[in-house]
C-alpha cells in the first residue's frame, strides 16, 4: 500500500501544481485533496521540495527519452516534428516546472544543476538533428546559422508556455500546438523549396 500511496501523492501534487501553480499549493492542500493526514504524506516525503524533486526525476527521464535521435540514418522533417511533439507533450504534462522555473531553480541548487544538464543535452540534440538535416540535403545553412537555430529552438521551447501565459492564452493545449509550429517555422527559411512546401503542408494539417 505504501508505494501506491506515494504514487498517488506524486500524481495529485503534479495535477495541483499544474492547475494552481506550485507556489499556491502546500503539502496540507495535497493531503486534504487525497483525504490523508499530513503525517501520512510526511511518511513518504520530507517536504514539498522533496515532492518537487521526485516529480522532476520523472520529468527528467521522460524528456530524455523524447530527445532520442534516430540511429543508423539521417533525420527527416517527420523526425524533428515527432520529437518536438514528444518534447512539448512532456512540457505540457509538467508545465508547472516551466511556469515557475526561475523560482523553483532559485530554491534548489540540485535541480539547477540537473536542469542545466538537460539544457546542455537539448542543445546538443538540436544541433545534431540540424546537422543531420544538412547532411541529408534537406536544409542549407552555415555552421553559425545552424548553431543559432539550435539555440533559438531551445529558447522557444523552454519559454513558450510563459509567453502564452503573459499573452493571456486560455487554451494551453492549443498554445502547445502553436509552439511546435513556431519551432518548425524557425527551420523553414533554411529548407530547400520542396521541403519547405512539405513543411507548410504538415503545419496546416497539424493546426486544423
Query: pLDDT tens across 126-149, in order?
Result: 999 999 999 999 999 999 999 999
At 191, is the secondary structure helix, strand, or coil? strand
Q: What is the mean pLDDT of the segment spanning 63-80?
A: 87
Residue 193 shares a structural domain with residue 161: yes
- The pLDDT value recorded for residue 24 is 96
Residue 136 pLDDT: 92
68 and 171 housed in the same domain = yes
Q: How many domains does the chain contain in total?
A: 2
Higher pLDDT, 164 or 64: 64
65 and 27 fall within a common domain: no
Same domain, 15 and 118: no
pLDDT digits (tens, 9 = 90+) for 9-60: 999 999 999 999 999 999 999 999 999 999 999 999 999 999 999 999 999 9
Residues 133 and 148 in one domain: yes
| Domain range for 60 | 47-207
For the segment 190-202, what is each residue's pLDDT rounded down to a tens digit? 999 889 988 888 7
Higher pLDDT, 207 or 68: 68
- Which of 12-16, 64-68, 129-133, 171-175 ranks highest by mean pLDDT? 12-16
Classify burial at 78, counting beta carbons within 10 Å of its beta carbon; exposed 0-12, middle 13-18, buried 19 or more: exposed
Q: Are residues 117 and 69 in the same domain?
A: yes
* DSSP H or E run through 205: helix 193-207
Same domain (yes/no): 39, 109: no
**Domain match, 176 and 123 both:** yes
Q: What is the domain-level CATH number for residue 97?
A: 1.10.357.10
pTM score, whole prediction: 0.89
What confidence tens digit (pLDDT) does each residue in 75-110 have?
Answer: 888 888 888 889 999 998 999 999 888 899 999 999
User: What is the rounded distance in angstroms from the CA atom of residue 198 to the CA atom of residue 140?
Assistant: 16
Same domain flag for 33 and 66: no
Q: Look at residue 2 in the predicted model and tell me its pLDDT.
A: 64
Task: Kindly state whether residues 91 and 3 are assigned to the same domain.
Answer: no
Residue 16, pLDDT score: 97
CA distance 136 to 130: 10
Residue 51 contacts residue 45 (beta carbons within 8 Å)? yes
Average pLDDT over residues 172-183: 84
Amino acid at each position: 500500500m505504501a508505494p501506491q500511496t506515494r504514487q498517488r501523492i506524486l500524481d495529485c501534487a503534479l495535477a495541483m501544481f499544474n492547475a494552481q501553480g506550485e507556489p499556491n499549493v502546500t503539502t496540507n492542500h495535497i493531503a486534504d485533496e487525497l483525504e490523508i493526514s499530513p503525517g501520512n504524506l510526511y511518511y513518504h516525503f520530507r517536504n514539498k521540495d522533496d515532492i518537487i524533486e521526485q516529480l522532476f526525476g520523472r520529468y527528467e527521464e521522460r524528456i530524455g527519452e523524447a530527445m532520442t535521435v534516430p540511429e543508423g540514418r539521417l533525420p527527416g522533417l517527420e523526425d524533428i516534428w515527432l520529437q518536438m511533439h514528444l518534447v512539448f507533450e512532456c512540457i505540457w504534462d509538467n508545465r508547472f516546472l516551466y511556469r515557475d522555473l526561475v523560482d523553483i531553480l532559485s530554491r534548489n541548487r540540485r535541480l539547477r544543476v540537473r536542469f542545466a544538464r538537460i539544457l546542455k543535452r537539448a542543445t546538443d540534440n538540436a544541433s545534431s538533428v540540424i546537422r543531420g538535416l544538412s547532411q541529408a540535403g534537406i536544409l542549407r545553412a552555415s555552421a553559425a546559422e545552424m548553431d543559432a537555430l539550435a539555440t533559438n529552438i531551445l529558447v522557444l521551447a523552454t519559454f513558450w508556455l510563459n509567453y502564452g501565459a503573459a499573452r493571456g492564452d486560455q487554451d494551453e493545449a492549443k498554445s502547445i500546438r502553436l509552439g511546435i509550429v513556431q519551432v518548425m517555422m524557425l527551420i523553414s527559411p533554411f529548407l530547400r523549396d520542396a521541403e519547405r512546401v512539405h513543411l507548410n503542408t504538415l503545419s496546416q494539417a497539424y493546426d486544423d
